Each structure stands twice: as structure tokens, then as C-alpha cells.
Amino acid sequence: MTYEELLQAMLDRVPSNVDKREGSIIYDALAPCAYFLAQQNFQLENYLDLVFPDTAVGEYLDRAVAAYGVTRKPASAAVRKMITTGAVSIGSRWGLNSLVYTVTRELASGTEYEAQCETPGDIGNQYSGSVQPISNITGVTAELTDLITAGADEETDGALRERFLQKVQLPATSGNAYHYKLWALDVPGVGDARVFPLDNGPGTVTVLIVDNDKNIDTSLESAVSAYMETVRPIGANVTIDSPSSIAVNVVADVTLDGSKVKDDVLRAFKAALEIYLKGLVFTDYRVSYARIGSLLLATEGVQDYDNLKLNGAMANVIIADKAIPVIGTVDFSEVRMYGAN
């Protein structure tokens, strides 16, 4: 019941010969009580959402799924290659764009090192270039280059919920295909996986993985492989790999309605196309020609289109079993403004 309904129900129980108008003694006495009860009703209604895994959030979701042996994947730190002009000590610290990287291992004598970001998460993957010494180091310059192991942000509520539902709904037992998928998803940074049983003969399993953004990240392979060795059945030969990519190139003659310029339309369409293609990863191996056309018509600023082609043909694009679709080139040619001659 709402605050108004609660207050009215209370006032209805007061004798009619008592002044119940707003501002009266009885009205002013009951109004705070009705407000408090309305708050309690609201909290109780939302409390139920915090109890069940399909609606819980934050720490309540952590507690709801913990009983099933599922825990939120923590943020992991990026490990980068650092190239120097001279030898540096293990444990020395270097700064770049407010981030600090600590040298953890020597890769090549006196010139290449492994450096781990002190701030966990995806942010450690983002910057490259010259790093400045924080430790007392002189006469040596250094540059942060390749990504050795990608850092990953803490698992989101949505990803944790999806992983929980897969665990309780999929029949993952005794090292079957579902089990290998769940094991791969346990590793921080892995967003999805597909399993190929008997891929290279009896006793072999191939697991393809992508990152949290459904992108190819080969740096995850070693972490997943190491973890898989600790949980796989004895005798299984497991290969951890990344899928190949199939570029989806889009061309079309687009008629604009005059509300947006070509660059804005291209940017909006690419964003929608990327979302669509990521939704196909490991779930659908056909890029729909009709769906791309619908996305184009739904793009703000587009009135109509002609001669839409995907990879040079007016047809669906078929993706191989061990591949995922990615955005290729997008070209809107012969763009005409509505009403133009």
C-alpha cells in the first residue's frame, strides 16, 4: 500500500465525530506512522529482490551464489613487457599515466623485463610508451610495450549471474563439454568459451576462449591452460586456443533524412553492428543480412538504403565453427540528402 492508502485506511478507523482534516491532531499523529509503514513496505518488497540470484545485486548476489560454489572473479593485474636501455633490479617501480608498474622478472639479459601493474583491472592494458623510474634509478630509460597477460576488471553482476545460471542449469558432470566451459569461465578475464570434444581424436578436447568484451585475447590462453591442468580429468589432452576472426564488411547506398551527417550515421551504425556481432559469438554462426538491414534502417538519420552487401554479396555471412565475426570495413557510398536534387 502507498503512503496515501495507508493514511486513509488509518483515518477510516477513526470515529466520524473526530476532526480528521489535514492539520488536525489525529491527522498529524497518523501521517508519520503511515509514512514509516510505506517505507517498510518498500524495503520489504525490494528485500525479496536481494534474496534471489536472478535479481540480487552487489554483495547480496555474492552471498546468493556462494552457496552453489560460485564466487565473483576478482580484478587481475596486467603484466607487460618493458624494454630498457640497461639492467634494472627486480622489484623496481616505474610510472606511466598515474599507473605504477613493478618489475617482476627478467625476460632477456639486461634489456627486457616483465612488469606488473600495481592497479588491477583493464586500465593496466591501455597505455604504452616511455615509463619514468619511481625507484632510485639513473642512467636507464625504459619503454612499456607488449601485453603479456591482460588485466581484467572485477566480474560484473551480469557476468556473475550468467555464469551462475550456466552452472546450475547446464549438466556439467564428470568432465563433459559443459564442465570444460565452466572451468574456462572460472578464470579472470574470460568472458565466454566453446568446447570441441574429441577435436583431435579420442581423449582430446579443444576449448576456444574470448575475453569479457567477446574479443580475441591470446594472452588469456596460458592462464586458462594452467588452471585447466588443475581441474581436468586424468588422461585428457586439453588444448586452449583463441578463435579466428572473420571480418564482416558492409557497403550500402544510404539515403539520409537530413537530421544527421554521414560521419554521425557511420559511427552510430558501427556501434549497433558491434553489439550485434558480439551477441553472435559462440551462439550463432550466421550473420543475418536481414538483421543488418534492420540495424541500418533503425540508425538515426537513415531514411532508406539500397544495394546493401555483406562481404560483397547480398546474402548472409556464414562463420566457421572456430571463428567469430568482427567488424570489417563499413562504407556508405552515394549518400544523398533527402529532398536533394
Domain boundary among 97, 118, 149: 149
**Pair 9, 1: CB distance under 8 Å:** yes
Residue 271 falls within a domain, yes or no? yes
**Same-domain check for residues 90 and 134:** yes
Q: Answer yes or no: is pLDDT of 182 > 70.
A: yes
Q: How far is CA 240 from the centre of its chain?
A: 21
Q: Measure the CA–CA gap between 7 and 193, rounded to whole angstroms.
A: 55
**Same-domain check for residues 190 and 140:** no
Domain boundary among 210, 241, 272: 241
Average pLDDT on 26-34 reads: 93
State the total domains in the chain.
Answer: 4
Residue 188 maps to which CATH number?
Answer: 3.30.300
Domain boundary among 149, 184, 206: 149
Residue 182 falls within a domain, yes or no? yes
Hey, what's the cell of 102? 613493478
Q: Answer yes or no: is pLDDT of 331 > 60.
A: yes
Residue 122 falls within a domain, yes or no? yes
- Select the more confidently predicted residue: 173 or 152: 152
Within the chain, residue ranges assigned H as helices are: 3-12, 25-51, 58-66, 157-169, 177-185, 220-231, 262-280, 289-298
Q: Answer yes or no: is pLDDT of 47 > 90.
A: no
pLDDT over 90, % of the chain: 78
**Same-domain check for residues 219 and 267:** no
Tracing cell 608498474 back to the chain, one arrives at 101
153-179 confidence digits (pLDDT tens) = 999 999 999 999 988 888 777 788 899
Residue 164 falls within a domain, yes or no? no
**Pair 287, 277: CB distance under 8 Å:** yes
Average pLDDT on 2-8 reads: 91
pLDDT band per the 50, 70, 90 thresholds, residue 257: confident
Q: Is 280 helix (H, G, I), strand (E, B) or coil?
A: helix
Residue 325 falls within a domain, yes or no? yes
Q: Answer yes or no: is pLDDT of 243 > 90.
A: yes
Nearest in space to 141 (alpha carbons), one of 124, 129, 149, 126: 129
**Same-domain check for residues 194 and 231:** yes
**Same-domain check for residues 216 and 271:** no
**Same-domain check for residues 95 and 125:** yes
Range of the domain at 259: 244-337
Per-residue confidence (pLDDT) for residue 341, from 0 to 100: 46
**Same-domain check for residues 231 and 251:** no
pLDDT band per the 50, 70, 90 thresholds, residue 106: very high
Q: Answer yes or no: is pLDDT of 339 > 60.
A: no
pTM: 0.73
Per-residue confidence (pLDDT) for residue 51, from 0 to 100: 86
pLDDT band per the 50, 70, 90 thresholds, residue 336: low
**Same-domain check for residues 248 and 312:** yes
186-203 confidence digits (pLDDT tens) = 999 999 999 999 999 998
172 CB contacts (<8 Å, ≥6 apart)?
178, 179, 181, 182
**Same-domain check for residues 177 and 144:** no
**Same-domain check for residues 287 and 304:** yes
Q: Measure the CA–CA gap between 8 and 332, rounded to whole angstroms.
A: 62
Per-residue confidence (pLDDT) for residue 337, from 0 to 100: 59
Average pLDDT on 20-26 reads: 91
Residue 65 falls within a domain, yes or no? no
Residue 58 falls within a domain, yes or no? no
Per-residue confidence (pLDDT) for residue 42, from 0 to 100: 82
Residue 263 falls within a domain, yes or no? yes
**Same-domain check for residues 222 and 256:** no
**Same-domain check for residues 224 and 269:** no
